[in-house]
Amino acid sequence: MELIEHIPMPPQSLANIEIGITKFLSMACPEHLLFPESLDIQMLNYILWNKLGYKEFMVDNFDDPDMEAMTDFSHKVIYLPKDKYYKDLKEGKPRCKFTLAHETGHIILHADYVVNILQVAARNSMTTKYREPKIFEKAEWQANTAAGALLMPLTTLWPLIRKCQLQGYTTNDIIEVIQDEYDVSKGSASIRLENVMKSNLDFMKAIIEKNNPACITGTSRISPSVLTKR
């Protein structure tokens, strides 16, 4: 994502990303909003191809060895490093799943905007110099936040967290539970928990509890539609 990481994206708050991803999942994969469960590679591939129209293409490597994926918005292709991706997939590492979720976040949040600015630049035969983006305009922060919401939706995660809290679980205990339930890395679970506990999402957590008080015990579920009516 070298092309867009230095370009200011339309500003997004944590809550706006959360609502947008909840809306997207309610159309693309509504069952994932009902139970705490892993969103596996097969389902991510299905979403990318059948819901977003993107295909994946394996390459030998990138010039930058730290690059894990690159999305071509104009041609709707995600490029993945073959050896690293298949190695992580074979070893069952959740990182390859987060990588796909991250690129999916870019597509949901940024595809239309990026394609538009590229077309404008091409028509004008110009190279635009962009100012340094603010944190809430940074493409990578937005895509990481979206990936967390895709893999660990608030509709199932918040009841799980509350159940753990009521049972006296420590923060580390809760992180381990999130890892197990959603099949994500410790780092992803930790960052997602930190985001969910922020006051920015208090109104969404209140909606979950108001519309389904039993979710406080973790014994029932909430329809995602109540979170997207704002």
End-to-end CA distance of the chain: 32
Dihedral Cα 75, 133, 152, 180, nearest 10 deg: 100
Q: What is the rounded average pLDDT of the residues 28-40?
A: 93
CA quadruple 87, 90, 93, 96: dihedral positive or negative?
positive
Q: For the chain, give the number of residues.
A: 230
In the predicted model, is pLDDT for residue 75 greater than 50? Answer: yes
The pLDDT mean for the chain works out to: 87
In the predicted model, is pLDDT for residue 130 greater than 80? Answer: no
Question: What pLDDT does 230 receive?
Answer: 46
In the predicted model, is pLDDT for residue 198 greater than 90? Answer: yes
In the predicted model, is pLDDT for residue 229 greater than 80? Answer: no
In the predicted model, is pLDDT for residue 91 greater than 70? Answer: yes
Q: Which of 3-17, 50-64, 134-148, 207-221 has the lowest mean pLDDT?
A: 207-221
Residue extents of the structural domains in the chain = 14-227
Over residues 143-191, the pLDDT tens digits come to 999 999 999 999 999 999 999 999 999 999 999 999 999 999 999 999 9
